[in-house]
Amino acid sequence: MSKMTRIAGLAAASAIGVAGCASIQPGPKDMTFFVTSVGPGKGGDLGGLEGADRHCQTLAQAAGGGDRPWRAYLSTQAAKLADTNFINARDRIGNGPWQNAKGVVIAWNVIELHSAGSNLNKQTALDEKGQPVNGRTEKPNTHDILTGSRPDGTAFPGAPFADMTCGNWTKSGADGAAMTGHHDRAGPLDAPWAVSWNSAHPTLGCSPEKIRPTGGEGLFYCFAVK
């Protein structure tokens, strides 16, 4: 075998190896978690849970990850305190594990997701395209992520307690409010609520104009149900 033949053979083998590595790189088709790159455009009115889930599915499909069912990480409230007609966000998203479009695992299960060991943060909470979402120090600030949930992922009580879900995701006016979390785990001070990814503070209202002042654009988390 000539020297040139050996060199050509090594080059071909190297190319195949590189191609093989490239083919197994993680991407949107492998993701099981993302932050929506855009909201539906109506503030806190997401079309209810059904509309929010559909938005997750549509974005995932466009990014190449639509071959699995997606659910929005959102809770709903009962009409009254004693009612049991509510939904916990933590119960909607399957069992995990979940990874972003870059293949980084944010949590192995529901318990870890809602613990101090959660790996959901500014670096890992990417959108469906694998792009970072603006944090508190960036313009425009879009770190307020709609959840309607308490820190453990459960729903807030119903009336007479305050609306924390924009009327179960059907309001787009100045009234009502929705609990948000900070995907970048950053706030005005180093307090547990300020650095919570799912329960930092409520919005000022449910319209886009009332959601933006505190750092929001009507975005929310989407998880693939396995």
pLDDT above 70 covers what percent of the chain? 88
Q: Is pLDDT at 80 greater than 50 in this prediction?
A: yes
Cα 150 from Cα 198, distance rounded (Å): 7
As given in the structure block, the two tokens for residue 64 are 């190449």
Question: What pTM does this model have?
Answer: 0.88
- pLDDT-derived band at 28 (thresholds 50, 70, 90) equals confident
Q: Is pLDDT at 94 greater than 60 in this prediction?
A: yes
Fold classification of 38-224 is Mannose-Binding Protein A; Chain A (3.10.100)
> Which residues does residue 179 pair with via DSSP β-bridges, in sequence order?
202
- How far the first Cα of the chain sits from its last, in Å, is 53
User: What's the chain's average pLDDT?
Assistant: 90
- Mean pLDDT, range 143-153, rounded to an integer: 98
- pLDDT-derived band at 24 (thresholds 50, 70, 90) equals low
Contact 172, 43 (CB under 8 A): yes
- Amino acid in the structure at residue 173: G
Distance from chain centroid for Cα 173: 23
- Mean pLDDT, range 89-99, rounded to an integer: 98
Q: Is pLDDT at 2 greater than 80 in this prediction?
A: no
- Mean pLDDT, range 92-119, rounded to an integer: 97
- pLDDT-derived band at 104 (thresholds 50, 70, 90) equals very high
- 178 closest CA partner among 201, 155, 198: 201
- pLDDT-derived band at 215 (thresholds 50, 70, 90) equals very high
pLDDT of residue 226: 79
- pLDDT-derived band at 5 (thresholds 50, 70, 90) equals very low
pLDDT of residue 26: 65
- pLDDT-derived band at 190 (thresholds 50, 70, 90) equals confident
Lowest-confidence range among 28-32, 169-173, 221-225? Answer: 28-32
Task: Pick the more confident residue, 98 or 3.
Answer: 98
Give phi and psi for 124, each to the nearest 5. -105, -20
- Amino acid in the structure at residue 13: A
Sequence-distant (6+) residues with CB within 8 A of 28 are 60, 63, 64, 65, 101, 128, 129, 130
Inter-residue long-range contacts of 154-158, CB under 8 Å, 24+ positions, other chains counted = 154/75, 154/88, 154/89, 154/90, 155/75, 155/76, 155/77, 155/78, 155/86, 155/87, 155/88, 155/89, 156/75, 156/77, 157/77, 157/78, 157/81, 158/77, 158/78, 158/79, 158/80, 158/81, 158/83, 158/86
